[in-house]
Amino acid sequence: MEEELLFDRVKTGIPGLDGILHGGFIRGNNILVSGSAGTGKTIMCLQYIVSGIINYNEPGVFVTSEELPYELRREALQFGWDLKKLEEEGKLIIIDAASAKAGLSTDEKYAIRRGFEVNELAEQIYTAVNQIQAKRLVLDSLSGLDIKINDQQALRVAIFKISALLRELGVTSIMTSEMLDGHSFSRYGVEEFIAQGVILLHLKEQDGELRRSLIVLKMRSTAHSLRRYPFEITSLGIVVMPGEEI
């Protein structure tokens, strides 16, 4: 396919997803993964980072604003992903953006220590990416950063700043956001315009059973599938079923 030759692709490593994306994310792009609670956003982010390190030798940075780092390490272990080991090998850095918000002190080397302030986050991201020459980054989640939303303009500027920094650093990144009752595709209603790509995760009851599915809403500069695909969370992580349509 022509666009596969034009742009360098970053394989997500999530079974079934790269085909839907015609080869993966475009290198350097910033992708929004949006969905309501429990749809699999954090697991998708973990898988993207871990697969990048293990299968593609691309170090990664994980900014966590909702789960504490120890919770994230524990969640990852369920799928056989040993974050501690990857951190010790210098291939992964977790930035703790959750403790301060919860009023907890933290021993983490990389942490936001005050309330949310975009420049402090930018500084931490910049240092961490350079420290391990990271190629991938996750910000899980934007909604958890505790940006005060009473000032829409300031909010837009903050998200835009983070997104611009990520592009300047050349990392291929995922930001997550919570979707509120289907009115908008994101928490603040601006993320989907700033990101170059948007993937929506759904969890819906069908015939008395909850079913997971995803759809690629936008992916600038590339063709992508417009269908909705079912996926499962297995003991090895997310598996998308490209063959089926629901």
Site residues, ligand ATP (CB under 6 A): 35, 37-43, 66, 78, 178, 233
Closest CB to Mg ion among 1 and 102? Answer: 102
| Backbone conformation region of residue 24, classed left if phi is above 0, alpha if psi is from -120 to 50, else beta | left
* Shortest CB 63 distance to ligand ATP, Å: 14
Name which of ligand ATP, Mg ion, none residue 233 binds, using a CB cut-off of 5 to 8 Å depending on partner kind.
Answer: ligand ATP
Binding residues for Mg ion restricted to 16-75, rule: CB under 5 A: 41-42
Closest CB to ligand ATP among 23 and 40? Answer: 40
* Shortest CB 81 distance to Mg ion, Å: 15
* Residue 99 binding Mg ion, by CB under 5 A: no
Closest CB to Mg ion among 45 and 190? Answer: 45
**In which order are the strands placed within the sheet that holds 92-96?**
92-96, 60-64, 136-140, 172-178, 30-35, 197-206, 209-219, 228-234, 237-240
Name which of Mg ion, ligand ATP, none residue 179 binds, using a CB cut-off of 5 to 8 Å depending on partner kind.
Answer: none
Closest CB to Mg ion among 42 and 173? Answer: 42
* Shortest CB 37 distance to ligand ATP, Å: 4
Name 46's Cβ contacts closer than 8 Å, sequence gap at least 6. Answer: 62, 72, 75, 76, 79, 81, 138, 237
Tell me, what amino acid is at 205?
E
CB-based burial of residue 245 (10 Å sphere; 0-12 exposed, 13-18 middle, 19+ buried)? exposed
Write down how long the chain is.
246
Which positions touch Mg ion (CB under 5 A)?
A: 41-42
